[in-house]
């Protein structure tokens, strides 16, 4: 593919994680980081190190494990302590970047910062120089750039480049821009910042008006060569520009944009699915690129056209984004070698320990159902990925329900020290009784916010997947469970959510600091 390369800057682990209900522990962040590296992102914003000890530890581990394969970026406000902490987190990475930001719009200057234009420029220059003293790759963001006066924005950007910024990001922090306005803003900077050739112009668009992707692509037309985005478009409020959408737009319309990316597009669907598994943040069925309906054709006219020639109604192929249906695969007599080959075909490389756990789950599943599908295997894999040592482990459960009987559940759980606890509870149904029993044993009082059940593949014996969201205090926690027994899947999902709360309580995280 000809043309310029657009740098894909992924901020799923920083801006994406700030989306309510999308917080991740360190093990889960490492799993997402691994997937992003395999996807081929050029820059990974791993977190905001000064926000909490947990954030610092996650960024540090990601930098050490993946900093030789992709650029690991740490976010910092224009404060000495932020920049020093960011450097400490990423210093062991071979490829590293410090990203500093400072608001520039009039509304932020007056109401948040209480700073003059001169103060803003002085602080920006001083802190960019400090970051440049640590590493050569420095990004500067004038927060709320879209609502900043163009002449002042031009001056700030020019001075930041003079101070050592190699990338200048132009954030639409509150999702206020429209494509023509954003295009004009980028063109103005290209034409009026005297040293603009010394830096890459970047986009960072929010989706409050549903135009994050459109604005990002308009900026590419105007000369931007980095797009900041997240998997599935997750992020604060309405979210960020969706990585899969900008990437496939640039690929599908390469003759128009005359640009390409380094993304392995066949990893888009698996990475999207992994993120939904870990965060519980589902995408709508008709979501572009990765939604369940993205390649479904129900209309008779569409189906006829598809049978004649797929390009009549498909501008990209399902396999281009790594989408897989429910193809029949293996049975209970399949060996380890055949199973490992199938995992590789599905795009998964597991270490020996993880492979053994998934293989055992597969054998157990094959004993329960006649036909095992690709989708079943993917669900088993994702049920193991990012697994941590939970404070509670389910040993056994029993439920009793029926017409004229009081639904009852008896649960046995094992704690971190190996001691087994048993209790029982009644409820409005067997699932409700299970949830009450789990709360009695763990001592955690939770409110069920959301409960979803779906069939992973098809057939009466299909593997069922349960997603739950609970509220404890003022925070939400997500859990997922899979089983051919939907009550067992429900119990595992609810227990996982309770364990997430317990882990969060042990390593609590302060409130998120505002960022672009």
Minimal CA–CA distance to 127: which of 99, 150, 107?
99
Give the predicted TM-score (pTM) of the model.
Answer: 0.83
Same fold yes or no, 4-279 and 392-506: no
Q: How far apart are CA 339 and CA 110, in angstroms?
A: 62
- For 275, the token pair is 């993120």
Residue 15 labelled as part of a binding site:
yes
Residue 299: per-residue pLDDT: 39
Q: Please answer whether residues 221 and 253 qualify as being in contact, where contact means their C-beta atoms are separated by less than 8 angstroms.
A: no
Residue where the block lists tokens 């002449």: 151
Residue 204 labelled as part of a binding site:
yes
Q: Which segments in the chain show pLDDT lower than 50? A: 1, 297-307, 510-511
Residue 388: per-residue pLDDT: 59
Residue 36: per-residue pLDDT: 98
Residue where the block lists tokens 């249906």: 325
According to the 3-state scheme, what is the secondary structure of 3-57?
CEECEEEECCCCCHHHCCCCCCCHHHHHHHHHHHHHHCCCEEEEECHHHCHHHHH
Residue where the block lists tokens 């894999």: 381
Enumerate residues 6+ apart whose C-beta is below 8 A from 102. Answer: 77, 78, 113, 120, 123, 124, 127, 141, 142, 143
Q: What is the dihedral of CA 363, 369, 431, 27, to 10 degrees?
A: 30
The DSSP-derived string for 232-255 is GG--STT-B-BHHHHHHHHHHTHH
CATH topology classification for 392-506 = Double Stranded RNA Binding Domain (3.30.160)
Q: Please answer whether residues 144 and 107 qualify as being in contact, where contact means their C-beta atoms are separated by less than 8 angstroms.
A: yes
Which element (helix H / strand E) includes 139?
strand 138-143
Residue 421 labelled as part of a binding site:
no
Angle formed by the axes of helices 374-384 and 336-345, to 10°? 90
Residue 206 labelled as part of a binding site:
yes
Minimal CA–CA distance to 465: which of 488, 431, 496, 432?
488
Q: Please answer whether residues 489 and 472 qualify as being in contact, where contact means their C-beta atoms are separated by less than 8 angstroms.
A: no
* Inter-residue long-range contacts of 250-257, CB under 8 Å, 24+ positions, other chains counted: 250/6, 250/217, 250/220, 251/1, 251/316, 251/320, 252/315, 252/316, 254/1, 254/2, 254/3, 257/3, 257/217, 257/220, 257/221
Minimal CA–CA distance to 469: which of 458, 478, 482, 461?
478
Q: How far apart are CA 217 and CA 193, in angstroms?
A: 21
Residue where the block lists tokens 């004009």: 184
Q: Please answer whether residues 332 and 425 qualify as being in contact, where contact means their C-beta atoms are separated by less than 8 angstroms.
A: no
Q: Is 100 exposed, middle or buried (0-12, 13-18, 19+ CB in 10 A)?
A: buried
Task: Give the 3-state secondary structure percentages of the chain, helix then strand then coil, rounded to 5.
Answer: 45, 20, 35
For the chain, domain boundaries:
4-279, 336-384, 392-506
Q: Please answer whether residues 257 and 217 qualify as being in contact, where contact means their C-beta atoms are separated by less than 8 angstroms.
A: yes
DSSP 320: G
Q: How far apart are CA 92 and CA 102, in angstroms?
A: 26
Q: How far apart are CA 86 and CA 63, in angstroms?
A: 11
- For 231, the token pair is 């998997």
- For 330, the token pair is 């293996």
Q: Please answer whether residues 423 and 394 qualify as being in contact, where contact means their C-beta atoms are separated by less than 8 angstroms.
A: no
Residue 188: CB atoms within 10 Å: 15
Q: Please answer whether residues 359 and 334 qualify as being in contact, where contact means their C-beta atoms are separated by less than 8 angstroms.
A: no
Q: How far apart are CA 68 and CA 70, in angstroms?
A: 6
CATH number, domain 4-279: 3.20.20.70
Is the Cα torsion angle 265, 267, 273, 275 positive or negative in sign? negative
Residue 424 pairs in a beta bridge with: 410
Q: How far apart are CA 241 and CA 207, in angstroms?
A: 7
Minimal CA–CA distance to 405: which of 377, 430, 378, 422?
430
Q: How far apart are CA 226 and CA 12, in angstroms?
A: 15
Q: Please answer whether residues 462 and 455 qualify as being in contact, where contact means their C-beta atoms are separated by less than 8 angstroms.
A: yes
Residue where the block lists tokens 């990338």: 167
Report phi then psi at 394, rounded to 5: -80, 125
């Amino acid at each position: 593919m000809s043309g310029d390369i657009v740098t894909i800057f992924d901020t799923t682990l920083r801006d994406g994680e700030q989306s309510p209900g999308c917080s991740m522990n360190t093990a889960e962040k490492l799993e997402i980081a691994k997937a992003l590296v395999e996807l081929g992102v050029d820059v990974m914003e791993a977190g905001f190190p000064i926000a909490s000890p947990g954030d610092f530890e996650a960024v540090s581990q990601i930098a050490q494990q993946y900093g030789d394969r992709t650029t690991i970026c740490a976010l910092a406000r224009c404060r000495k302590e932020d920049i020093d902490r960011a450097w400490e987190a990423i210093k062991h990475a071979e490829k590293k970047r410090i990203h500093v930001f400072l608001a520039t719009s009039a509304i932020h200057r007056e109401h948040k910062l209480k700073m003059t234009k001169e103060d803003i420029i002085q602080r920006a220059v001083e802190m960019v120089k400090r970051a440049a003293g640590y590493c050569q790759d420095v990004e500067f963001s004038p927060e709320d750039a879209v609502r900043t006066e163009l002449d002042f924005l031009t001056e700030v950007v020019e001075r930041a480049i003079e101070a050592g910024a190699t990338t200048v990001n132009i954030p639409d922090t509150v999702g206020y821009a429209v494509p023509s306005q954003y295009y004009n803003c980028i063109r103005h900077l290209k034409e009026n910042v005297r040293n603009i050739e010394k830096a890459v112009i970047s986009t960072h668009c929010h989706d409050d008006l549903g135009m994050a992707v459109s604005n990002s692509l308009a900026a590419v037309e105007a000369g931007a060569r980095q797009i900041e985005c997240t998997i599935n478009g997750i992020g604060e409020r309405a979210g960020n520009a969706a990585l899969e959408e900008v990437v496939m737009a640039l690929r599908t319309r390469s003759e128009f944009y005359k640009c390409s990316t380094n993304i392995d597009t066949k990893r888009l669907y698996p990475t999207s699915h992994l993120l939904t598994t870990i965060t519980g943040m589902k995408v709508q069925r008709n979501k572009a690129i990765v939604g369940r309906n993205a390649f479904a054709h129900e209309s008779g006219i569409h189906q006829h056209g598809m049978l004649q020639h797929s390009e009549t109604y498909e501008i990209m192929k399902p396999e281009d984004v790594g989408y897989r249906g429910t193809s029949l695969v293996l049975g209970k007599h399949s060996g380890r070698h055949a199973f490992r080959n199938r995992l590789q075909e599905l795009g998964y490389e597991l270490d020996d320990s993880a492979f053994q756990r998934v293989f055992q789950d597969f054998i157990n599943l094959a004993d329960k159902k006649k036909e095992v599908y690709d989708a079943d295997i993917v669900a088993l894999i994702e049920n193991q990925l990012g697994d941590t040592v939970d404070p509670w482990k389910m040993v056994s459960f029993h439920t009793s329900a029926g017409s004229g009987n009081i639904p009852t559940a008896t649960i046995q759980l094992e704690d971190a020290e190996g001691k087994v606890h048993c209790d029982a509870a009644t409820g409005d149904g067997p699932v409700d009784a299970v949830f009450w029993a789990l709360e009695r044993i763990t001592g955690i009082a939770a409110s069920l916010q959301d409960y979803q059940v779906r069939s992973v593949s098809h057939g009466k014996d299909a593997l069922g997947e349960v997603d739950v969201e609970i509220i404890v205090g003022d925070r939400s926690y997500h859990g997922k469970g899979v089983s051919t027994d939907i009550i067992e899947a429900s119990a595992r999902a609810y227990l996982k959510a309770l364990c997430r709360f317990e882990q969060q309580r042990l390593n609590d995280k302060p409130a998120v600091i505002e960022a672009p």
